[in-house]
Structure 1
Amino acid sequence: MSEEAAATLPPVVGQLKDRFGPAVIRVSTFRDNVRVLVAADRLIDMLSYLKAEAGFAFLAELGGVDYLGYPGRSEGARFEVHYVLLNQETHERLVVKVGVDDPDPILPSVVSLWAGADWMEREVFDMYGIRFEGHPDLRRILMPDEFTSFPLRKDYPLRGRGERHNFPRITRDES
C-alpha cells in the first residue's frame, strides 16, 4: 500500500495495528472499502474490540470465498470469511477478513457477539463446509441434510451426476 493510500485510512486501522500488532496481517482498500486481513487466533478479540470500543456495532454481512485455483494467488489460505462491519454513528464500513484452510476449515463463531450471525454462519457452513466452533445450532440451512458436499467450493462437480445420488428417488406412485 502506498504512503498516500495509507494516509487516507480511517483511524481505526491504526488502532488495530497498535493494539493487535502482527495479528493484522494486511490492510488494503478497494472502491472505498477498507479491508483488514487478520489472524484467525485473534479474530474474536479483534471483533470484540471493534464492536465494544471502536463503534462498529453492526454486522452487515458475513460471507465466504473459495480461492482454489484463483489466478495470481500463490499464498494464503484456500478460504476466506469476511465480516462487513458498520459504525452507525460515523457511517464507516470495515471489512474484516480471516483465512482458513483445508482439510478441516474451522473458525470461532461470532454468534455471541452478533445474534444475527447465526444464519449467516450456517449459510457459509452449508455452502463451503467451514465450521464455526461454538455455534449454537450449526446445521444445513439451504441444502437437505442428506447432501454430502458443498456447492460453492471451486472443486464441486459442474457436470455429470453431481450429487443426485444423495437424494431418494420418488416415483409418481409414492408422491
Structure 2
Amino acid sequence: MTATDITHESIVERLSAQFPGKILSHDAPFGLLSLNVPREEVIDIIKWLKEDAAFQFIFLTDLCGVHFPEQSGQELGVIYHLHSLVHNIRLRLRTFFPANDPVVPTATTVFKGANWMERETFDFFGIQFTGHPDLRRILNVDDMNYHPMLKQYPLEDGTRTDKDDKYFGR
C-alpha cells in the first residue's frame, strides 16, 4: 500500500475489520483523522497500527489527558497522536472514561517514549496508567494532593476587589 492509497476511509475500514465494533466513532476535524476507541482496546489498536506493514504508525508524537466535566460518564480522556513517518500520515486516537475510574493501560509497552508523557498526564490529571514502570509526579511537587488541570475550580477568584472588569473588555 502506498501513501496515495492510504485514505481516512481505508484506515477506518482496515481498523474496523481488524477490531470489529471497537471503533466507536470517527471524524476528521481540520483534516486529522480522529478515532474514538474503548480504553480496554486502545493499546492493542496502537500496537497494531505500529506493526502493520501497510500503515507503519511508528512514532508516538504526543499523548495527553483531557477533562470535560460536562460529559457525564466520559469526563476524562487520553489522546494519542500517531505519525507514520514512512507515509507522512497522522492519526489521533481518543479514549474517554468516567472521572471516578481514571485508569488506562500504559503505552510504554509499545512506545518507550510514552513514559514521561504518561507521567505528565498522571501529574496534571490524575489518570493512572496500569503497568507503567515508574508512575510518579514529574513536574509538580511530590506532596501536592490535587491534579491542577482538572476543571474543578473557578478560573477567577470572585472575591477579588482589585479588578475592574471594564479594563478586561467585559
TM more than 0.5: yes
Where do 5+ consecutive residues of structure 1 fail to align? 1-7, 161-175
| Aligned counterpart, 1:42 | 41
Q: Secondary structure at the match of 1:44?
A: helix
Pair 1:106 & 2:107 matched: no
Distance (Å, rounded) in 2 between the aligned partners of 1:117 and 1:66: 19
Deviation at 1:102, TM superposition (A): 2.0
Task: Using the TM superposition, name which of 47-56 and 149-158 deviates more.
Answer: 149-158
Q: Compute the displacement of 1:104 (Å).
A: 2.8
Aligned residue number for residue 63 of structure 1: 64
- CA contact 2:72–2:98 (8 Å) conserved in 1: no
Q: What is the TM-score normalised by the length of structure 2? A: 0.82
Structure 2 residues not aligned, in runs of 5+: 1-6, 158-170
How many Å apart are 1:48 and its aligned residue? 0.7
How many residues in Structure 1 have an aligned counterpart in Structure 2? 149
Identity %: 34
CA distance in 1, matches of 2:97, 2:29: 22
**2:77 aligns to what SS in structure 1?**
strand
2:93 and 2:151 map into 1 onto residues whose CA distance is 22
After the TM superposition, which parts of structure 1 deviate over 2 Å for at least 4 consecutive aligned residues?
Answer: 156-160
> Partner residue of 2:78?
81
Tell me, in whole angstroms, the C-alpha distance in 1 between the residues paired with 2:46 and 2:148.
28
- Does residue 131 (structure 1) correspond to residue 132 (structure 2)? The answer is no
The residue aligned with 1:19 is 18
Backbone CA RMSD of aligned residues: 1.6
Tell me if the contact between 1:150 and 1:156 (Cα under 8 Å) persists in the aligned partners: no
Report deviation, 1:100: 2.0
Match of 1:118 in 2: 115
Is the 1:128–1:152 Cα contact (8 Å) retained in structure 2? yes
CA 1:68–1:81: 2 relative to 1, 3 Å: same
1:28 is aligned to 27
- Partners of 2:79 and 2:131 lie apart in 1 by 18
Q: Give per-residue Cα distances to partners, 1:35-81, cap 9 Å, x unaligned.
A: 00001111111111001113101000001110013xxxx56510111
Return the offset for 1:116.
0.6
How far apart, in 2, do the equivalents of 1:12 and 1:145 lie? 42
| Map of 1:146 onto structure 2 | 143
- Does 74-83 or 111-120 show the bigger shift? 74-83
Partner of 1:165: none
